[in-house]
Structure 1
Amino acid sequence: MAAEEMIEKLAEYDGKDQSVELFQHASLCTMEIILQCAFSGGGMSDKTKEDYLEAVKRIGDLMVEVIKNTLYYIFPTIYYLSPGGREFHRVCDFVHDTANSVIRKRREELERDPETLAEKKRLDFIDILLTARDEDGRGMTDDEIREQVDTFLFAGHDTTSSTLCWTLYSLAQHPDHQQKVQEEVEEVLSGRDGSTIEWEDLNKLTYLTMCMKESMRLHIIVHLISRTTTEDTVINDVPIPKDTYVAIHLYGLHHNPDVW
């Protein structure tokens, strides 16, 4: 299991008085989990996973570069002509190619052995995309499937690994809460031969759930969301016309003492 592999890697630091950079370990773990759960394994080599994670990180760094430069933000064409813009294109192409590879390999597997779908208790995400048909019998195009895979693979592993890291960081800052989480887990596992958390155990981990939610409040992963209004509306007595771009600052909301 991906979680067990991550724990084994972290065990190497046990007893050492040093800080540990968890993000790479957490990203590899969540990447493997999403490949197994949503993409029938994905068929990625360890090298490809590491390169993909590095590409995702680099895309984030380059996007920050755009946000900090007003000229790039207003005139993206200028940015795409810059060294950073050209690198952004190269990295995005690699991410897209990786997603296309996942799709192609699974499609080939289904063509070789279509009975594998009948043997499954439930279809995973990639199977649903590849077999979906509209009322006219048309399936999704490769580009449409890739867009969905990009979102699931990119955002799916990155947000969960960030949440995992911040939760572990918060627990490390508060040993008393960490102790309560450990005691709760030990209580759930008491009397068992193994140490594996089962699906039905999740509802029993109430204190751990509270710690994770509080960590996500404090260290929100997506700090801003935006929408465009489709009709005239009023919020808190403020009229907002149709086609207005509205941004919600979630980080500020989560740290507003009037709310929390």
Structure 2
Amino acid sequence: MSDLISLVSIFVLGVIGWITYKVYIWPIYITPLRKIPGPPSESLFYGNYKTFMNEEVNEPQLELMKKYGNIVKYYEIFNQPALIITDTTMVQDITLSNTYDYVKPIVDSVAFIGRGLPLSEGEDHKKQRKMMNPAFTYRNIKNMVPTFTRVASILISLIENKMDLGESNIILAPYISKTTLDIIGLVGFNYEFNSLTSPNELADAYTILVTPTNLGFIISKLSNYFPFIRSIPIEINRKFNNACAVVNRESEELIKRKLKEAETGELKGSDLLSVLININKTLPIEEKLTDNELKNQIMTFLVAGHETTSSATSWALYLLAKHPHVQDLLREELVKAFPDKSTFNPTFDEINTLEFLNGVVKETLRLHSPVTAIRRINIKDKTFGNYLIPKNTSIIISTTGLHKSPEIWGPTVNDFDPKRWMDPTLTKNISNISFLPFNAGARGCIGNKLSLAEFKVILSILIRNFVFQLAEGFHVKTRTFTSSKPDSEIEFIISRVES
């Protein structure tokens, strides 16, 4: 009996010693990352996440960069050291020079996204990217623009109906989100969400999965270490798991239907998924995507093409309402291009020739990029300057830090100034490693042209039809860690633009 007690005691002491080493001794005293400046850990359990989620800190990434420089060490869950960077040498290595030396961290969103293009790695990613490129040609995207306009026109009618009922103060974000969801459903896989006009089970499930909360973020991070956490029967897990089940069921039914149409030669749609399936039919067996890989692209289109455009449009309206003179200049350009708002139906080329609109869009993406951080883990040891970055280090490229760096953008870095994009003396210094709303290189967003065209059409039709103002004294916080969404609902005072 005493031998058993001794063995148990040794085991317990060993476990305690191992945990102490992993969460305290190694992160503080041994890791090569200890030489990199950064804030001290606040907790052996949650590291520095309390600072990142502190509602009193407006943009925690920026605050760390200002204090510690462009390579900052911080601590994640279980006190594991990680990096936040805006160092352009490292950014270039990660995004352009050695892309596949850096992998995406395992996240529980794979439960509903699957290993589609965003979460695939190495040769698998190369295969999917090569196969999907033809679906995002100029020809295909320009044919989607009428769909953007048609759905956006439903949004215009909805706003006008509210105004006819005496409403002038309207919270627009939920309606813009439904607009972009309806659009990506149609152009992505010819699915009628109709969420602007009616409830939809798949739309509701998807909203649950992509709407971030601080608790959801913590559970997601913990589930990377302890997958069983998602099985604990609490309300947030029940909602997550039920939503995953709905998404998987609907995606499987949709892909089965389209594959059956492809077998009989009846798949004639121009939506992205139909184009992919028809391309897939022509490929040699070693290059084909499996049925499951094709199914995963459904959620890829949704996640990449919905919330990012929705968030960017909400921020653009906020910035234009805050700067009415800029809003007036944009409207002048739109009125000149489209004198009759009742026949607003731009082509892809027309919407992309509007210089000031392009400046407004880019400046919005600079100040409020939908992707505030690009997360990677290096699979090889790396050396940058005097710093050794051991393999398996969690690295965050701070898009926010790059986009708001005075070294890159000058003394007016915090100003909303669309005209900066029309000044060659300023734009000549901007590269694809200093402006990263869609990432860059082999892992850059494959649908960036689609997203930009959609953003421009929705914003244009809104500004052409309405004047947007903010309630006096209204100010919105900028959250840049778990989400780029506004921290509070933006209520606009809306009035009509006369024809």
Q: In 2, distance between residues paired with 1:107 and 1:100?
A: 11
Indicate yes or no: 2:276 matched with 1:129.
yes
Contact kept in structure 2, 1:226 and 1:247, CA below 8 Å: yes
Deviation at 1:59, TM superposition (A): 1.9
Where structure 2 has 5 or more consecutive residues not aligned to the other structure, the ranges are 1-149, 410-499
Note the 1:222-237 alignment, pairs <5 A: 222-237=371-386
Which residue matches 1:60?
210
Task: Tell me the alpha carbon deviations over residues 13-58 of structure 1, each in whole angstroms, 9 at most, x when there is no partner.
Answer: 448564322222212222222233232x225565886433332332
1:51 aligns with 2:201: yes
Mark the CA change 1:82 to 1:64 in structure 2 (over 3 Å): closer, same or farther.
Answer: farther
Gapped regions of structure 1 (runs ≥ 5): none
Letter of the structure 2 residue corresponding to residue 65 of structure 1: L
Instruction: Measure the CA separation in 1 of the matches of 2:152 and 2:211.
Output: 27
Given the superposition, is the C-alpha separation of residues 106 and 22 from structure 1 closer, same or farther in structure 2, using an over 3 Å criterion? Answer: farther
Q: Percent identity?
A: 27
Q: Structure 1 residues 89, 42: closer, same or farther in 2, change over 3 A?
A: same
What are the equivalent positions in structure 2 for 1:1-260 lying under 5 Å apart? 1-14=150-163, 18-39=168-189, 41-44=190-193, 46=195, 50-61=200-211, 64-68=214-218, 74-83=225-234, 84-112=236-264, 114-117=265-268, 123-131=270-278, 132-133=280-281, 134-136=283-285, 139-190=288-339, 194-260=343-409
Q: What letter is aligned with 2:276?
A: L
Change (3 A) 1:241 1:168: same
CA contact (8 A) 1:129 1:140 kept: no
Cα offsets for 1:158-208 (capped at 9, x unmatched): 211111121112211211111111111111124899322221212321111
Match of 1:129, SS state, is helix
Distance 1:101 1:29, change over 3 A: farther
Amino acid at match of 1:173: K
Equivalent position amino acid for 2:157 in 1: E
Task: Quote the Cα distance in structure 2 between the aligned partners of 1:188 and 1:237.
Answer: 54
Q: Residue 160 of structure 1: SS of its match in structure 2?
A: helix
Distance 2:321 2:212 in 1: 30
**Structure ranking higher in helix proportion:** 1
Q: Give the aligned CA root-mean-square deviation in angstroms.
A: 3.1
SS at match of 2:407: coil
Which amino acid is the alignment partner of residue 80 of structure 1? S
Describe the superposition over 1:105-136 as per-residue Cα deviations: whole angstroms up to 9, x where unpaired.
Answer: 33344445x1553xx7xx54212332315423
Q: Distance in 1 between matches of 2:191 and 2:351?
A: 26
CA 1:165/1:19 → structure 2, altered by over 3 Å: closer, same or farther?
A: same
Q: Which moved more, 1:130-139 or 1:238-247?
A: 130-139
The normalised TM-score by structure 1 is 0.81
Give, as a single letter, the amino acid of the residue that structure 2 aligns with 1:75. F
Report the Cα offset of residue 252 of structure 1: 3.1
Distance 1:200-1:111 versus aligned 2 partners, 3 A rule: same
Tell me, in whole angstroms, the C-alpha distance in 2 between the residues paired with 1:48 and 1:149: 21
Q: How many Å separate the matches in 2 of 1:101 and 1:45?
A: 18
Question: Whole-Å Cα distance in 2 between the matches of residues 192 and 85 of structure 1?
Answer: 46
Listed one character per residue, the Cα deviations across residues 74-97 of structure 1 (whole Å, up to 9, x for unaligned) are 434224314122321111111222
Q: Does the CA contact (< 8 Å) of 1:228 and 1:245 recur in 2?
A: yes
Take 2:394 and 2:240, find their aligned partners in 1: how far apart are those partners?
26
Per mean C-alpha deviation after superposition, the further-off stretch among 11-20 and 223-232 is 11-20
Higher relative contact order (CA 8 A, sep 6+): 2
Question: 1:108 and 1:59 mapped to 2: Cα distance?
Answer: 29
Q: For 1:196 and 1:3, how far apart are their aligned partners in 2? A: 11
For the Cα contact (< 8 Å) 2:209–2:240, is it kept in 1? Answer: yes
Aligned length: 254
| Partner SS state of residue 395, structure 2 | strand
Per-residue deviation, 1:10: 1.5
Say whether the 8 Å CA contact 1:66–1:72 is kept in structure 2. no
Contact 2:262-2:277 within 8 A present in 1 as well: no
Aligned residue identity for 2:170: V
The alpha carbon displacement at 1:9 in A equals 0.9
How far 1:72 sits from its partner (Å)? 5.7
